[in-house]
Amino acid sequence: MGNQVVGVTQFCAYPPDVRKKPQVAGFADVNYEAVLGLRPDLVVLPRDKERNKKELENLGLPVLPLDTRSLFGLMDAIDVLGKATGHEREAHAVLAAMSNSLAEAYGRAQERPRPSVLFSVMHSYQGLGYITEIHAIGKDGFFSELIDAAGGRNVYTGKLAFPRLSREAIIFLDPQVIIDVIPASEDMEAVRRDWQSLSSVSAIKNNRLHLLTDEAHSVPGPRAYQTLSKLSHAFHPPLSPGMME
């Protein structure tokens, strides 16, 4: 939508030009005065921000709540937003990329075992040379669905959306693949050394630690197809010559 976007949140980072736009919201807080000053024709926000929605509507602003808490909810949100803003063609292009990525992932995983996966986010990088604890993807919806769509199996089966796992818990769960989403500014070699301290874990023993550094990998958005493709290749790498599918 380019220049039609007049205001963003402090977390918006793509495309790069978006960083130059006025920031009018955080995670749950909205600067209503700043929003009004931009005179938007439409305000888009997550469906669960009901209080923000009511406040914006009380100010006379049209609001479009979208649900991106699941993979197919995200795809529906892209379709709805395209129709609401007159950008159906662009929305269809994004949805086509996502559908193609899903089809490719399903095909790659067909009749192959689902590896157990630990998906780490918000990791604390203390430079200690070993892992102390991490936050992992649990039953959050979107990311756990990505793991499933890519042909993996979430090693965490508890009820929490983002469980905090200790070093001992990681060893006990013994994932076959570890995905760690980290900022590109981190020292990658130091991060790898931290993980190597868990040498008894299957993923580390078998060199199946994958570091994802693009911000897109931690955001339920239109570039999710790239994350799905990365996960698909991590879970099901090309078979060696002579191996049967």
Query: Measured between alpha carbons, how far is residue 66 from residues 32, 47, 133, 245 in Å?
Result: 19, 5, 33, 40
| Residue 160: per-residue pLDDT | 92
In terms of DSSP H, where are the helices of 1-152?
A: 32-38, 50-58, 71-85, 88-109, 142-149
Within 10 Å of residue 130's Cβ, how many Cβ atoms? 12
Task: Please state the pTM of the whole predicted model.
Answer: 0.86
The two tokens of residue 217 are 């990998």
| pLDDT (0 to 100) of residue 244 | 42
* Domains of the chain, first to last: 1-66 (3.40.50.1980), 105-235 (3.40.50.1980)
What pLDDT does 239 receive?
64
**Count of CB atoms situated within 10 Å of the CB of 75:** 20
CA–CA gap between residue 225 and residue 94 (Å, rounded) = 9
| Residue corresponding to tokens 């760690």 | 180
Beta-strand ranges (E) seen in the chain are 8-9, 23-25, 43-46, 63-66, 116-121, 133-136, 153-154, 164-166, 177-181, 209-212
Yes or no: say if 170 and 201 are a contact pair by the CB < 8 Å rule.
Answer: yes
- Show the tokens assigned to 16: 């790069």
Q: What is the pLDDT of residue 168?
A: 96
Amino acid at site 134: I
User: What is the predicted pLDDT for the residue at 157?
Assistant: 93
- Tens of pLDDT, residue by residue over 12-64, are 888 889 999 999 999 889 999 999 999 999 999 999 999 999 999 999 999 99
What are residue 64's DSSP bridge partners? 44
How would you classify the pairing of strands 153-154 and 209-212? unpaired
SS3 85: helix
**CA separation for the pair 169, 90 (Å, rounded):** 44
Rounded to whole angstroms, the Cα distance separating 81 from 1 reads 10
Q: Do residues 217 and 90 make contact, with C-beta atoms less than 8 angstroms apart? A: no
Question: pLDDT tens track of the chain, all 245 residues?
Answer: 888 999 999 988 888 899 999 999 998 899 999 999 999 999 999 999 999 999 999 999 999 999 988 999 999 999 999 999 999 999 999 999 999 999 999 998 888 999 999 999 877 666 678 888 999 999 878 899 999 999 999 999 999 999 999 999 999 999 999 999 988 888 889 899 999 999 999 999 999 999 999 888 888 888 898 999 999 999 998 865 444 43
CA distance 1 to 134: 37
pLDDT score of 186? 85
Q: How far is CA 40 from the centre of its chain?
A: 28
DSSP string, 86-116: T-HHHHHHHHHHHHHHHHHHHHHHTTS---E
* Pairing of the two strands 209-212 and 133-136: unpaired
